[in-house]
Chains A and B, each alone.
Chain A
Amino acid sequence: MAEDYSTWAYEELIAEIQREEEALADLRKTLRDIEDTISSIEEQIRTEELPQARERFLRRQRTIARLQKRIAERAEDIKLREERIAERERDAIRVEIFFPHLVDTIRGIRRSISALRGWQTRRRRQQERDERRLKRLMELQVKEEPFIPRYTKLREDLKFWQGQAALLRRDLTQEEARLERKRAALPNLYRIKIRLYNEIVGPNGSPTGMFQAWFDIDATLDRVTRLVRWDWWLTALEIRIAKTHMVGYFKGMAKWASPEDIGQATLDETLGIPYGEDRVTYARKKTGETYTKGIPGEYITKAERMTVEELVVGESSVAPKPNPKPTAENMGVFFEKVMIIGPDGTIKWQEVRNRWIWHPTDELVKKVKEELRIAE
């Protein structure tokens, strides 16, 4: 039965996952080593199985078997014929003793015995020739004999390591499944860093941001790909808030007497926060001059053309940070910094903000906890 990891403490679970990841890395390294060994053995087997060498060896093996069979059969035959010759010898002696007058018969028997011995001599020579050939072939075969144990051992090794690799793969699959369950038990709520920018095409044709703002927002990640789910309702809501705030920030730029006055940025704007195709309109003095200090006029002109809809959302490479204990205080939209980038891609102006601009209500936090099944 699968263990219930949801009861584990967050820190305990994280430490456990790190330990398992390290162990898995070791297992994977071992598996890679085994796979290397298997490749090496397979290569050796391929070399041993060179067609000519193997074919020659097998052909010689067949000839040896045939010779051995023939020699054994001929030896049996020679033995039988020896017995027959001995029998004929006894017949000849018997006839010579008891029927000495049968001279022609005795001569015939002796001639027959002589012929039999002649054939026997020829058989013996054949036998000796075959035995010599067998001996030579055996010598050759013995010379190449290490091939057999070598080949057999390679096959055995291959089978062994393939078995080990299969076991290791099974262990890896099981461990990874367990790790995934532990990861799944982690609260899936993160703080991510985004950058909002408007797209301005640079001198080399590449898009460069002109107005840039960094925010931290809440997000959930896809369990498998670890990609942010941008369609999640809270992330989408916080992006809208951040976009509106960014435009409002630049809109309020004209009223700054000093950076401390930025709090007025959107509060006393009679025209409201621009949205969609609305253009930013700066408050100006009667002379037409903006209240902005330290901001070049050309950027003010460009900022006036900026709308919420043209803002592009970028995800920062800073890794998402888990938020295991979400509260209204540690959730929401955090405004980190804002920049103006020149056409040459360099920073023309920046201000570090580092302040919360929006927190979700307790009801929203409760909704998030219920949806993501995060314990109170």
Chain B
Amino acid sequence: MQSRENRLFIDIDANSSYLWRTDPLWDDLLELVRMEALRLGRIFPLGRRANIMRSDNGWYIRFDEARLTKDEEEGIMRASKGHFGHIRFSCELHDTTLRVSAKARKRSTPPRLREVIDLRTV
């Protein structure tokens, strides 16, 4: 039996899904990222808070209070609007990782916390 020891990390970038690009008004996608965090928080028991972080060209949604089995985590990731490559690679390795340091390339910075969403208001 799998233990409930996994959090849920969703990686969203500008090219993660065509749905994110359907409306040019969503300039930095933050509104949609919030909607996605609330959507997942409404459907699944993912704790009280979602941390939205800004990465170089996209966003991370972290449900740090979620405690899921590996199957649940991968299932929810597949149901999310996260970056397809990230989901596929995470499922391939059975390990989900989000970058926390800068990349070696120029103008890369470590992801920074943009806002905390209170899922209890959902």
On A, residues with C-beta under 8 Å from B are 28, 194-195, 197-199, 202, 204-208, 212, 214, 224-228, 230, 239, 309-319, 321, 339, 341, 345-347
- Which one of B49, B97, B103 lies within 8 Å of A317 (CB-CB)? B97
User: What are 29 of the A-B contact pairs (CB < 8 Å)?
Assistant: A28-B120, A195-B97, A197-B97, A198-B104, A202-B85, A207-B103, A225-B49, A226-B51, A226-B64, A226-B65, A228-B100, A230-B100, A230-B110, A310-B104, A312-B102, A313-B100, A314-B98, A315-B98, A316-B95, A317-B6, A317-B7, A317-B73, A318-B6, A318-B7, A319-B7, A339-B93, A341-B93, A345-B89, A345-B92
Chain B residues, Cβ within 8 Å of A315: 97-98, 100
Chain B residues, Cβ within 8 Å of A317: 6-9, 73, 95-98
Tell whether, in the assembled complex, residue B89 and residue A199 are in contact, meaning their CB atoms are under 8 Å apart: no
CB distance from A216 to the nearest CB of B (A): 13
With A227-B51, A314-B97 as known contacts, state yes or no: A199 contacts B103, CB within 8 Å: yes
With A206-B83, A225-B113, A226-B65 as known contacts, state yes or no: A313 contacts B99, CB within 8 Å: yes
Tell whether, in the assembled complex, residue A318 and residue B5 are in contact, meaning their CB atoms are under 8 Å apart: yes
CB distance from A202 to the nearest CB of B (A): 7
CB distance from A227 to the nearest CB of B (A): 6
Judged by a CB distance under 8 angstroms, whether B101 is at the interface is yes
- Rounded to whole angstroms, the CA-CA distance of A317 and B5 in the bound complex is 8
With A204-B85, A319-B7 as known contacts, state yes or no: A227 contacts B97, CB within 8 Å: no
With A225-B113, A345-B92 as known contacts, state yes or no: A314 contacts B100, CB within 8 Å: yes
- Chain B, residue nearest A336 (CB): B95
- Rounded to whole angstroms, the CA-CA distance of A225 and B113 in the bound complex is 9
- Which one of B64, B85, B96 lies within 8 Å of A345 (CB-CB)? B85
With A226-B64, A345-B85 as known contacts, state yes or no: A214 contacts B95, CB within 8 Å: yes
Chain A residues, Cβ within 8 Å of B78: none
Q: By DSSP majority rule, is chain A's interface helix, strand, loop, or mixed? A: strand
Tell whether, in the assembled complex, residue B95 and residue A208 are in contact, meaning their CB atoms are under 8 Å apart: no
With A317-B6, A319-B5, A319-B6 as known contacts, state yes or no: A227 contacts B64, CB within 8 Å: yes
- Chain B, residue nearest A28 (CB): B120
CB distance from A336 to the nearest CB of B (A): 10
- Rounded to whole angstroms, the CA-CA distance of A225 and B7 in the bound complex is 13
Chain B residues, Cβ within 8 Å of A197: 97
CB distance from B90 to the nearest CB of A (A): 8
CB distance from A243 to the nearest CB of B (A): 10
Judged by a CB distance under 8 angstroms, whether B34 is at the interface is no
- Rounded to whole angstroms, the CA-CA distance of A119 and B92 in the bound complex is 105
With A206-B85, A208-B85, A319-B7 as known contacts, state yes or no: A227 contacts B99, CB within 8 Å: no
CB distance from B79 to the nearest CB of A (A): 16
Tell whether, in the assembled complex, residue A312 and residue B92 are in contact, meaning their CB atoms are under 8 Å apart: no
Chain B residues, Cβ within 8 Å of A208: 85, 89
Instruction: In the A-B complex, list the 9 residue pairs whose CB atoms are closest, starting with the nearest.
Output: A314-B97, A310-B104, A313-B101, A317-B96, A206-B85, A226-B64, A195-B97, A317-B7, A317-B9
Residue among B9, B15, B85 with most chain A CB within 10 A: B85
CB distance from B33 to the nearest CB of A (A): 17
- Which one of B7, B67, B86, B103 lies within 8 Å of A312 (CB-CB)? B103
CB distance from A353 to the nearest CB of B (A): 15
Q: Given A224-B116, A313-B99, 4 more contacts at CB 8 Å?
A: A194-B97, A197-B97, A199-B103, A312-B104
Tell whether, in the assembled complex, residue B64 and residue A316 are in contact, meaning their CB atoms are under 8 Å apart: no
Judged by a CB distance under 8 angstroms, whether B107 is at the interface is no
- Rounded to whole angstroms, the CA-CA distance of A204 and B89 in the bound complex is 13
Judged by a CB distance under 8 angstroms, whether B105 is at the interface is yes
CB distance from B62 to the nearest CB of A (A): 8
CB-defined interface of B1-37 with A at 8 Å, one 1/0 digit per residue? Answer: 0000111110000010000000000000000000000
Tell whether, in the assembled complex, residue B6 and residue A309 are in contact, meaning their CB atoms are under 8 Å apart: no
Chain A residues, Cβ within 8 Å of B102: 312
Chain A residues, Cβ within 8 Å of B42: none
- Rounded to whole angstroms, the CA-CA distance of A230 and B102 in the bound complex is 12
Judged by a CB distance under 8 angstroms, whether B88 is at the interface is yes
Chain A residues, Cβ within 8 Å of B5: 318-319, 321
Chain B residues, Cβ within 8 Å of A346: 92
Residue among A197, A226, A228 with most chain B CB within 10 A: A226
CB distance from B89 to the nearest CB of A (A): 5
Chain B residues, Cβ within 8 Å of A321: 5
Chain B residues, Cβ within 8 Å of A214: 95
Chain A residues, Cβ within 8 Å of B51: 225-227
Tell whether, in the assembled complex, residue A316 and residue B97 are in contact, meaning their CB atoms are under 8 Å apart: yes
